[in-house]
Amino acid sequence: MTLIEALARYWGYTSFRPLQREAMEAVLSGRDSLLVLPTGGGKSLCFQAPAMVKPGLAIVVSPLISLMKDQVDTLVGNGVPAALYNSAQTGEEKASVAAGLREGRYRLLYVSPERLAGEGSDGFLSLVAARSVSFVAVDEAHCISHWGHDFRPEYRQLGRLRQVLAGASLHAYTATATARVRRDIVEQLALDRPLELVGSFDRPNLLYRVLPRGVLKQQLLDVLGRHRGEAGIVYCTSRREVDALAAWLTSLGTPALPYHAGLSDVERHRNQDAFLSERIDIVVATVAFGMGIDRSDVRFVVHAGSPRSLEHYQQESGRAGRDGLEAECVLIASSADFMKWRLMLEQSGELTEATVAMLRQMERYATAVGCRHRHLAGHFGDEYQAPGASGCAACDVCLGELETPAEPVVLARKILSCVARVGQRFGAAHVTSVLRGHASEQVVARGHDALSTFGLLTTSSVAEVRGYIEQLIGLGLLRQAGDQYPVLALTAGGLALLKDERACPGLTLARQRTPDTSAPRTRSRAEAESWEGVDHTLFERLRAVRLAIARARGVPPYVIFHDATLREMARRRPASLGELLEVRGVGTRKAQDLGEAFLAEIRGPA
């Protein structure tokens, strides 16, 4: 069987996505490799398909039991002989898998890193070493690196596989890895002259927006209003905010469940399962929620507070649109987020040169006013090529949702001057009040209503002025000093601009454009293209069929078919099994097993 034959038979694909062929051929040739593909780029197929072509047993190292189970359920549903072996299984289940291994029934075996390299792993290693192991695939390989965003010590032990399974090639896969992390992966896994394949980090189907934090609940309602009845994740930086927002959304008639490390294992598992099985569509979570979440139809991810690095942001926002369809990623941030992170990292002893640099990179993204896709791609060393004259057509900047004030340098100098006039001893709220001419009790008591900067920005809203201040902090012209009550202070760059208007050439500031409520909702290029020719009503009926089958079989709906496959069915309206097999994502086994149920729905009432 060839690779393309395996793809068509088991997964319903008739072509390769970027770098897939090269990655698969490295596996077949027995050459070690490192593959970096963005979430949704078809990374898992790069080790799953070769396992059906190359004789022997392929071992897949995966960090989470939930991820293993979902992937194995999907593979078995496609007709692929796969199994998993982990600590959550009963003794009987483990014995059954061990018997299957001895009998050579499996082509893919999913295991945790602890099972392969942890304490007491020798017995299991002896079991698999006695089989003909063709290759080992290490998924989420960034977990091996101290420089990665999700370091896991147990991954550092996987290098011993080179000695134990000497005849097997090793292959590392990740969606997030800077050049430094890639070097660490190669070294720690002892990869032998690996083929390194690094795909584009850009996710063109994702629409990125950044909002300065204002009235958070209203900002959340605005996002949810664009995604009624769709799945989404809201990330918060504290457990308290998670619980409060989940309860608040539920009270409004939008059911949401919390997820954080403070919940019991049973409750976390129950809430995660409710989300994966589509019994609930919104989860409010800390970053404890995410890795291994394979629900493919997440249409929005909101960060109600900035994460600690762009690596974290790319990984967490990347849980949207895994099916390749349009999705929205909204970052709601303020300078206070970065102050909190610095304090937390310092208290935990993690405030290192590396973490400070990563935090600063995240802050620059949150306050920048350039194309979001270009910024993210550039951070990972990817040269971004905009698809059209209007830029990415998939971020707030390129969609024209921000506008630039007429004289940004003059505006910046007004704000810097105000910070200087109040003695660099007050925070953003006080400076905003002075600039807007708001004679608050504190402003009057300090005599700041008599300053020359009082009322310089009377026509600007609080959110607008605070947004400018955040941007000046991000540009390194202002800084915040103090932990509990941070005050604004000028940097050397800010002082230079205050003295000389030519000191900061190319300075750009931006504000949110006032939305035209009578205009249709802004749609990204990906959204417009993905719905072209699709019968919306039929698509929803096909989703109902999928949900019923999934409930009957006790698996998540995306294990049956992804939304992208259902949309293509609703676009092409296949009338026979032969035509159904031409739909991307419908393989031979699925067509035989499920085809008639979907064809009947497409045909409609007899």
Tokens 């540009």 label which residue? 475
Query: 105-119, 205-219, 512-526: which has the highest mean pLDDT?
Result: 205-219
CATH 1.10.150.80 segments of the chain:
531-603
pLDDT number for residue 146: 65
Sign of the CA dihedral 547, 549, 551, 555? negative
* d(C-alpha 399, C-alpha 293), whole Å: 30
* Mean pLDDT in residue range 113-118: 74
pLDDT at 295: 83
Pairing status of strand 487-490 against strand 478-481: antiparallel
What whole-number distance in Å separates Cα of residue 534 and Cα of residue 536?
A: 6
Q: Choose which CATH entry (3.20.19.10, 1.10.10.10, 3.40.50.300, 1.10.760.10) describes domain 3-198.
A: 3.40.50.300
Given pLDDT bands bounded at 50, 70 and 90, which one contains residue 535?
Answer: very high
Q: Residue 311: which pLDDT band, with cuts at 50, 70 and 90?
A: confident
- Only one residue has tokens 């190292």, namely 61
pLDDT tens digits for 12-52? 998 999 999 999 999 999 999 999 988 777 899 999 999 99
Average pLDDT of the chain to the nearest whole number: 89
- What mean pLDDT do residues 128-149 have? 82
The fold adopted by the segment(s) 408-509 is: Arc Repressor Mutant, subunit A (1.10.10)
Q: What is the rounded CA–CA span in Å between residue 117 and residue 120?
A: 8
* pLDDT at 519 exceeding the cut of 80: no
Q: What angle do CA 229, 235, 237 make, to 5 degrees?
A: 155
CA dist 412 → 396, 402, 424, 433 (Å) = 22, 17, 16, 16
Can you give the pTM of this predicted structure? Answer: 0.83
- Residues 598 and 539: their CA atoms lie apart, in Å, by 11
Q: What is the structure's pLDDT at 119?
A: 55
**Residue 267's pLDDT is what?**
92
- Residue range(s) in the chain whose domain bears CATH number 1.10.10.10: 408-509
Lowest mean pLDDT among 172-186, 201-215, 281-295, 531-545: 281-295
206-403: in CATH 3.40.50.300: yes
pLDDT digits (tens, 9 = 90+) for 314-339: 888 989 998 889 999 999 998 889 98
Mean pLDDT of 216-237: 94
Number of helices (H) and strands (E) in the chain: give both, helices first.
Answer: 27, 17
- H helices of 318-367, where? 335-347, 353-367
In this prediction, residue 167 carries a pLDDT of 84
What's the pLDDT score for residue 120? Answer: 55
CATH fold of 531-603: DNA polymerase; domain 1 (1.10.150)
> 120-129, 311-320, 535-544: which has the minimum mean pLDDT?
120-129
Residue 129: is its pLDDT beyond 80? no
pLDDT attached to residue 148: 59
Distances (CA, A) of 579 to 71, 120, 426, 534, 604: 27, 51, 68, 17, 17
Section 81-87 average pLDDT: 90
Distance between CA atoms of residues 471 and 501, nearest Å: 17
Q: What is the C-alpha to C-alpha distance for residues 484 and 157, in angstroms, rounded to an integer?
A: 41
Mean pLDDT of all residues in 404-410: 92
pLDDT at 147 over 70: no
What SS3 class is residue 65? Answer: helix
Res 489 pLDDT > 90: yes
Whether the pLDDT of residue 454 is over 60: the answer is: yes
Return residue ranges of the chain for CATH 3.40.50.300: 3-198, 206-403
